[in-house]
């Protein structure tokens, strides 16, 4: 009797909740953390050995926060359900979950979302209004347009063809081509068409556990500061850039140095992925489709590589390589506006009381790792430093919150008090 009641009223976790719990357990896995630290050291040392005269910033690693994890998983589930909806349809329960996830992301728009998801379709006025709201990120905009487009295609809608053409003209490839801006193609509809033709992609969409995996739970970056004229290289593009840099004005040298850094970053990425012996020594491999040379319209350029361990495929990590100039584009006051992306906004924890502050800090502030040499003249990196909470705070909020502000000083007071308690 008791067992049957428990079974009857057992709360079933959603796909996002299951994935979140799984990734929380991974975050606390010490073996995983230590292996990534080892790879971090090895890869940075390989770079330093390959380019001994190239100056880089202090290498830094970072672990995703709980808040970032949750947002990432929800984004993936929204994407998965939208694709399934467009390709073959989803159940009523899945549709309710999709609407709930979208409403959670853009609070205050529940009525409009309900209208797009289940209301009578007569025009695109509601979708146009939502697309104009800057606080709604591109992931959600894409999801909303896919929902309304799929419904128009499948249901008996007046002026069906006109509405579909309006969507394409305003948000699809046609809009991007007219504006000569790829980002205007909010639909990215070619992804749906490819999934329809690819059995493997279709199977993955049905495997929520695999689709909701976060492959950059842990990661680190190599930020290239400058490339010297005397660098030894067989790279013809790099040679030409260095020669041009020698001939231009001081003002233009920074531009050519940035281009040199980008070439070195890309060259190292290719060398690393091709170095089978080195990868074998760490027992790692590049994930399928794990490499991207990112080049965005806002000027951001970087090489991203995702790896996993052969004996533990769930132990994944990401390496990012870019120039110092492109790194600065990701800062709060940079062109990239990093904090406008979903889940990336850097909200300062409440300092109303210590308990709330500590709880929110654990949720929102990443844990950083840095590596350094024992001596400044030594090329070999050998020291791994796990940043303390005060260091994490400074790194994460620099440029967002003035360190001499009352709110920041209050936060530091709480951190010092907590450290004193832990040291007793």
Least confident of 186-190, 326-330, 373-377, 417-421: 186-190
Q: Please give the Cα distance from 388 to 393 (Å, whole number).
A: 9
On the question of pLDDT at 312 being above 70, the answer is yes
Flag whether pLDDT at 3 surpasses 70: no
Query: Residue 20 has what pLDDT?
Result: 97
pLDDT digits (tens, 9 = 90+) for 91-102: 999 999 999 999
User: Residue 424 — pLDDT band, cuts 50, 70, 90?
Assistant: low
What value does the mean pLDDT take over residues 388-393? 95
Bridge partners of 285?
Answer: 308
How many CB atoms lie under 10 A from the CB of residue 29? 14
Q: Which of 155, 37, 172 is nearest to 85 (CA)?
A: 155
What is the arithmetic mean of pLDDT over 391-398? Answer: 92
Report whether pLDDT(264) > 80: yes
Q: In the predicted model, is pLDDT for residue 8 greater than 70?
A: no
Q: Give per-residue pLDDT as tens, 204-246.
A: 999 999 999 999 999 999 999 999 999 989 999 999 999 999 9
Q: Which residues contact 209 (CB under 8 A, 6 or more apart)?
A: 15, 18, 19, 22
Q: Which two tokens stand for residue 265?
A: 């970053």
Handedness of CA 20, 25, 30, 35 (dihedral sign): negative
Instruction: State residue 333's pLDDT score.
Output: 45
Q: Is the pLDDT of residue 48 over 80?
A: yes
For residue 219, the surrounding DSSP H or E stretch is strand 218-226
| The pLDDT of residue 192 | 86
Which residue from 195, 109, 94 is spatially nearest to 144, judged by alpha carbons? 109
Mean pLDDT of the chain: 90
The yes-or-no verdict on residue 86 having pLDDT over 50 is yes
Is-above-0.85 flag for pTM?
yes
User: Which stretches of 248-285 are DSSP H helices?
Assistant: 250-274, 276-282
pLDDT value of position 332: 47
Looking at per-residue pLDDT, the higher value among 176 and 352 belongs to: 352
**CA 152/CA 144 separation, integer angstroms:** 12
pLDDT band at 52 (very low <50, low <70, confident <90, very high): very high
């Amino acid at each position: 009797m008791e067992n049957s009641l428990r079974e009857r009223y057992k709360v079933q976790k959603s796909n996002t909740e299951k994935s979140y719990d799984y990734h929380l357990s991974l975050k606390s896995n010490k073996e995983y953390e230590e292996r990534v630290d080892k790879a971090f050291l090895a890869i940075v040392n390989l770079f330093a050995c390959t380019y001994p005269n190239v100056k880089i910033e202090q290498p830094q690693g970072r672990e995703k926060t709980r808040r970032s994890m949750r947002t990432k998983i929800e984004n993936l589930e929204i994407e998965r359900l939208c694709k399934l909806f467009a390709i073959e349809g989803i159940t009523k329960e899945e549709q309710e979950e999709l609407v709930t996830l979208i409403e959670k992301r853009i609070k205050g728009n529940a009525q409009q979302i309900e209208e797009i998801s289940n209301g009578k379709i007569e025009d695109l006025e509601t979708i146009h209004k939502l697309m104009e709201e800057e606080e709604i990120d591109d992931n959600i905009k894409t999801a909303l347009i896919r929902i309304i487009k799929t419904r128009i295609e499948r249901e008996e809608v007046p002026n069906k063809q006109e509405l579909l053409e309006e969507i394409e003209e305003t948000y699809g490839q046609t809009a991007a081509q007219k504006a000569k801006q790829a980002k205007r193609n909010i639909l990215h509809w070619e992804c749906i068409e490819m999934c329809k033709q690819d059995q493997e992609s279709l199977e993955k969409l049905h495997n929520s556990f695999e689709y909701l995996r976060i492959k950059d739970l842990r990661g680190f970056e190599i930020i290239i500061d400058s490339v010297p004229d005397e660098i030894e290289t067989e790279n013809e593009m790099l040679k030409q850039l260095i020669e041009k840099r020698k001939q231009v004005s001081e003002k233009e040298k920074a531009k050519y140095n940035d281009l040199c850094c980008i070439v070195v970053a890309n060259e190292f990425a290719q060398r690393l992925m091709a170095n089978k012996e080195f990868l074998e020594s760490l027992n790692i491999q590049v994930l399928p489709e794990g490499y991207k040379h990112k080049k965005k319209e806002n000027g951001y350029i970087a090489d991203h590589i995702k790896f996993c361990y052969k004996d533990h495929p769930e132990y994944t990590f990401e390496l990012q390589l870019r120039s110092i100039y492109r790194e600065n584009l990701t800062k709060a006051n940079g062109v990239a506006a990093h904090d406008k992306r979903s889940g990336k906004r850097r909200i300062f924890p409440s300092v109303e009381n210590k308990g709330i502050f500590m709880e929110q800090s654990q949720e929102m502030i990443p844990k950083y790792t840095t590596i350094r040499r024992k001596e400044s003249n030594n090329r070999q990196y050998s020291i791994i430093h796990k940043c303390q909470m005060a260091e994490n705070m400074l790194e994460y909020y620099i440029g967002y919150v003035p360190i001499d502000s009352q709110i920041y000083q209050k936060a530091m007071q709480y951190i010092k008090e907590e450290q004193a308690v832990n040291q007793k």
